[in-house]
A and B are shown apart, each in its own frame.
Chain A
Amino acid sequence: MPEHINIEEQIQDYIDGFCNDQEAVEIERNIAVNPAWKATYASLSEINRVLQSDFEPMEPSMRFSKNVMDQIAGLKIAKPTRQYLNPVVIWLIGGVLVTMLVFIIGYAVSLADWSATGSSTSLKIPEVKMPAVNWGGYVNNNTTMLFLLLNTVLGFTLFDKWLRRKKAGV
């Protein structure tokens, strides 16, 4: 980094009050004895002074506050986000994921051939045979009807819940 930039940064930190006491003393000493430091300090403190004294926020129109209050007049404060998130559900999901992970790792470790060494060529990937499941056997008229019935009940339940909420004006 060029020296003059380093000097600028140090002096700016001094002006902003970002340096510690020891650094401040060192910078003050440099400003007092070194013309380059003195000139940089004068330049930076001038822009800082302008920003502190001549820089004012802009003013919105006179009706601003009234407009905002008019807009929020019919509004309700929303429930905090954390109330939507049930911690029990989060812990449950986390628990299921951790259990699955532990089970998969445990299963993989139990199938590993620990007698194999890193240098040997006998390293085998454990074979996993999935049990043959005859899915076709489960799909019949009864199961289809049961599935449709459950969905219909679930649909009516949700519809009823929605109507109740609508009636309560939530």
Chain B
Amino acid sequence: MTSTTSEQELIARILKGEQQHFAVLVERYQSMAFTIAFRYTRNREDAEELAQSAFVKAYRSLADYRGDAKFSTWLFTIVSSLGLSFVRKKKLDTLSLTNEKVQVAADGMSGGFSANTIETKSKVQMVQKAIGMLGTDDAQVLTLFYQGEQSLDEIGKIMGIDPNTVKVKLHRARGRLKKMMETNFAEEISNLQHA
């Protein structure tokens, strides 16, 4: 039985009133939903609240899920939509590579360390931090492509843009990430290579 089939079966059971099965979907997608939410909120508390709201909304609207797209795509669309509303409400600045605020944001995300003295304990943390320093769209497209296992078409649906635009954004995001890592984490990369 494929995971998609079992997912459809799960959804059918939830729709019949077996609410407890929704926990399986929550467990399965909570990390990705939280990560996507974090791309918009840039702090854990708001991201958690936003991701929870997305799951609640998904549950309430489950009867509207037609099954012609992956459940994850549908769910991530809800998370993105709530994320955009959050950004509009909070009027957060969209960070860009050239923006001076990047340095400040890096300080904030590393829990008070300056960007130059971040003690990166692993490559995973370093990559996570570097992605966190990218603009929302760049971080989002990388997250959905590499972690969310979404195709260009699916990312297009989630972000409300054309798949070709997704491809261009993905290409640019990777370039910016590389530059970001070389600029801000050169020492850490060197240490990891020598370790």
Contacts and interface: CB of A to CB of B under 8 A. Distances in A.
Contacts of B14: 77
A12 B171 contact: yes
26 contacts: A8-B171, A12-B171, A44-B174, A47-B177, A54-B127, A55-B127, A55-B131, A55-B146, A56-B128, A56-B147, A57-B31, A57-B143, A58-B128, A60-B47, A60-B51, A65-B23, A67-B52, A69-B26, A71-B55, A72-B55, A72-B59, A72-B60, A75-B56, A75-B59, A78-B60, A80-B64
Contacts of B143: 57
Contact of A58 (B31, B122, B146): B31
Contacts of A21: none
Given A12-B174, A72-B19, A72-B59, A57 B35 contact: yes
Interface string B52-78: 100110011111100000000000000
Chain A contact-residue range equals: 20 to 34
Interface of B: 14-15, 19-20, 22-23, 26-27, 30-32, 34-35, 38, 44, 47-48, 51-52, 55-56, 59-64, 122-124, 126-128, 131, 142-143, 146-147, 167, 171, 174-175, 177-178, 181
Nearest to A64: B30
The 4 closest A-B pairs by CB, nearest first: A57-B31, A80-B63, A60-B34, A54-B123
Contacts of A48: 174
A69 B23 contact: yes
Given A50-B127, A64-B51, A79 B63 contact: yes
A51 B34 contact: no
